[in-house]
Every structure is written in structure tokens, then in C-alpha cells.
């Protein structure tokens, strides 16, 4: 098991030569509506370019085996680039006032540039996205790093994000082991068992966590006292985030908050880095971000007797727990 998992994480590398694209899968109406760019122009603090170099070449074949058929992009972050292996990149709308924060953690060894299209997509719908990463991480440090940096940028008069982040509407998100980190950060934030944690593992007082979005989490996630609405998603072709294991081990223990488990039909582990118009979870993710940050138009997609998922066949399985079934939308 451990060996398989390690290979899966390494596979979040670059596809220097694109494999043949599969036939597009049918998406739900929800996905179709939100799979294109949102209404906001987007700026970023990081630049991306084609991933090159020995490290990128070594990961290329694994990436294709895990479902990446499009050439990936990289930032300067090590080990593929020559920059530091720890940092936070921001993607944000260029106009408007305060925007909800999405703190996103990539999978282990994944260059943050792999997820630039996803971050830009979310930013185009009105979210500030902090992509936080830490090389060789074995604990959820990058998640807390991203939260601290967001607070700092929001309070820095020289930052383009000064006063632009609504820290009271913060969503923790991630992919693969980064999804694990998002759940762990939420659990640590809500821990009530008296176990001491390092000072760097604390949520800044200005931040309020309102949701967790875990895309293809790994099977090593341990039960944590998550108290925020949580959407966990994987795919039927995902070998690293197998639905049969993820449902009981990751989704099952969440009983103190509303939780949803979605399995996309035919989606492999790295489907998220392919064109978002083809990714069956694109629209669901945007709608969930809207829902937990208070958009009333998104509520019916997740709660109530006539909730709109799973759509028209893009999903092999969609379930929700008892708190989600018992909740309703504002009148």
C-alpha cells in the first residue's frame, strides 16, 4: 500500500508530451454551467511556463499513467524550478471588494503551477485563491502557512490584496495528499481533546473556516473532528484515491458537520489538471465554494429534499450524511 501511494504522489508531475485526449465525458447540467471562465478578470503573483528539466522528465510518464493527458505548467518552485520549495501563490479577481478565501494545497511533490488553471478558474468566480506548498511535507504545515500569509497580505498596505480578502469566509481545499492536509487542518482547528499543537499549527484569529473541499484525497487521512461542511470527491478510475476506501475512511468519520461524497464517472487521479471544461467535478467544486461562502443560489445543489446533484450521469455515486440531509436552505 505505501509503495503504491508513493508512486501516485510522484505522478503529479509534468506531461511534457501530451497523450491522446480521451473522448469528452458527459457532464451534469451543474458542471456545464460553471465549467467555463467566470465573470472576473484574474491576476496572479506567480508566473507559469512549460515544465522542463530532469525532475520534470522523470515525472512525465507517471503523470500520464495517472490520467494527465495535457502538457502541464510549472512555477519556479523547486525541485522542477530553481526557486524555493516552500511558498504561497495568490490568484485573485482584479476588481471588486472583499472576496472569500480558498486555501489550496497541492499533492506531495506537485509543483504549484500544475493547479494554476484551477486556481484561476475559481478566482474568475470571485474567490481569492492561495496555493500554498511546502517541499517534503509530512505534516499539514502548508495549510497553516497559507492561512498566515493570507492574513498578512490582507493587512499589508503595499499588497494588491490589501483589504481584499474576506477571512471570515475561508475554505480549505486540496488535491491528493493536499486534500488530506485540508481535512487535517480543519480537524486541528476544531480539536477539543486537549492535545497541544505547535504555534504554527493554529488558525489565525481573523480566520473563520466555513468549508472543506477535498479532491481525490489519499487513503491515509485519519478521522478528525471536522466541524465545517465538507465535500469529498474522487473518480471511478482513480487508483490513488479509490472510492471503496475513501468513503469509509475519509467521508464516513465526518459526523459533526454536513458532508458529501461524490464519485465522478471515469475520472482518474490527475483529471483535475486536464482542461477544466472536461473535468466532471469543475462545476460541482465552484458550486460548493459558492454554497459554503453564503451564495443562496447554490444552496439547493446540496441540501433539501430536491437537491440537484448528481446531474445527468457524470457521477457514479453521490451521497450525503445525516447532518446534510437534515439541513435546509434559508427561507
What is the bridge-based pairing of β-strands 209-215 and 128-134? unpaired
What is the pLDDT, as a whole number, of residue 19?
34
How confident is the model at residue 6, as a pLDDT? 26
Instruction: Quote the CA–CA distance of 268 and 277 in Å, as a whole number.
Output: 15
Q: Which three cell numbers stand for residue 36?
A: 467555463
pLDDT at 57 over 80: no
For residues 306 and 299, what is the distance between their CA atoms, to the nearest angstrom? 11
Instruction: Place 27 in a pLDDT band, splitting at 50, 70 and 90.
Output: very low
Res 197: pLDDT: 72
Q: Which fold has domain 2-326?
A: Rossmann fold (3.40.50)
- Taking residues 298-308, what's their average pLDDT? 84
Residues contacting 248, CB < 8 A, separation 6+? none
For residues 68-94, give the mean pLDDT: 90
Other residues' Cβ atoms within 10 Å of the Cβ of residue 1:
8
CA-to-CA distance for 144 and 147, rounded, in angstroms? Answer: 5
Q: Inform me whether the pLDDT recorded for 12 exceeds 50.
A: no
pLDDT at 145 exceeding the cut of 90: yes
Residue 141 and residue 108 in contact, taking contact as beta carbons nearer than 8 Å = no
The H-assigned helical ranges of the chain are: 2-10, 29-34, 54-65, 116-124, 141-155, 177-189, 243-246, 282-292, 322-326
Per-residue pLDDT at 223: 67
Helices 177-189 and 141-155: angle between axes, nearest 10 degrees: 70
Spans of all domains in the chain? 2-326
Tell me, what's the pLDDT at 269?
Answer: 94
What would the pLDDT profile of 220-240 be if each residue is shown by its tens digit?
A: 766 677 899 999 999 999 999
Given a cut of 90, is residue 188 above it in pLDDT? no
What is the pTM for the complete model shown? 0.88
- From CA 306, how far away is CA 312, in angstroms rounded? 15
DSSP, collapsed to helix, strand or coil, labels residue 190 as coil
- Mean pLDDT for all residues in the chain: 84
pLDDT at 113: 94
Amino acid at each position: 500500500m505505501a509503495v503504491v501511494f508513493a508512486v501516485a504522489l510522484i505522478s503529479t508531475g509534468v506531461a511534457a508530451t501530451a497523450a491522446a485526449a480521451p473522448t469528452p465525458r458527459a457532464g451534469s447540467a451543474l458542471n456545464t454551467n460553471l465549467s467555463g471562465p467566470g465573470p472576473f478578470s484574474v491576476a496572479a503573483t506567480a508566473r507559469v511556463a512549460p515544465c522542463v528539466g530532469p525532475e520534470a522528465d522523470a515525472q512525465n510518464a507517471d503523470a500520464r499513467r495517472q490520467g494527465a493527458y495535457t502538457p502541464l505548467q510549472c512555477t519556479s518552485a523547486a525541485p522542477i524550478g530553481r526557486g524555493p520549495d516552500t511558498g504561497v501563490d495568490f490568484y485573485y479577481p482584479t476588481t471588486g471588494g472583499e472576496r472569500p478565501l480558498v486555501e489550496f494545497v497541492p499533492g506531495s511533490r506537485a509543483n504549484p503551477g500544475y493547479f494554476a488553471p484551477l486556481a484561476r478558474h475559481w478566482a474568475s468566480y470571485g474567490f481569492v485563491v492561495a496555493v500554498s506548498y511546502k517541499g517534503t511535507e509530512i505534516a499539514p504545515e502548508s495549510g497553516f502557512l497559507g492561512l498566515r500569509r493570507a492574513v498578512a497580505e490582507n493587512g499589508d498596505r503595499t499588497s494588491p490584496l490589501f483589504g481584499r480578502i474576506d477571512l471570515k469566509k475561508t475554505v480549505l481545499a486540496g488535491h491528493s495528499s493536499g486534500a488530506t492536509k485540508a481535512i487535517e487542518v480543519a480537524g486541528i482547528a476544531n480539536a477539543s481533546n486537549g492535545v497541544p499543537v505547535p504555534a504554527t499549527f493554529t488558525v489565525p484569529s481573523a480566520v473563520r473556516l466555513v468549508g472543506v473541499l477535498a479532491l481525490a484525497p489519499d487513503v491515509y487521512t485519519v478521522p478528525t473532528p471536522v466541524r465545517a461542511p465538507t465535500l469529498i470527491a474522487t473518480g471511478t478510475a482513480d487508483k490513488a484515491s479509490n472510492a471503496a476506501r475513501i468513503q469509509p475512511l475519509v467521508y464516513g468519520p465526518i459526523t459533526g458537520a454536513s458532508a458529501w461524497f461524490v464519485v465522478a464517472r471515469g475520472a482518474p487521479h490527475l483529471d483535475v489538471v486536464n482542461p477544466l471544461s472536461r473535468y466532471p467535478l469543475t462545476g460541482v467544486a465552484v458550486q460548493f465554494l459558492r454554497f459554503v461562502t453564503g451564495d443562496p443560489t447554490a444552496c439547493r445543489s446540496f441540501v433539501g429534499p430536491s437537491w440537484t446533484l448528481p446531474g445527468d450521469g457524470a457521477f457514479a455515486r453521490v451521497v450525503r450524511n445525516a447532518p446534510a440531509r437534515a439541513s435546509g436552505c434559508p427561507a
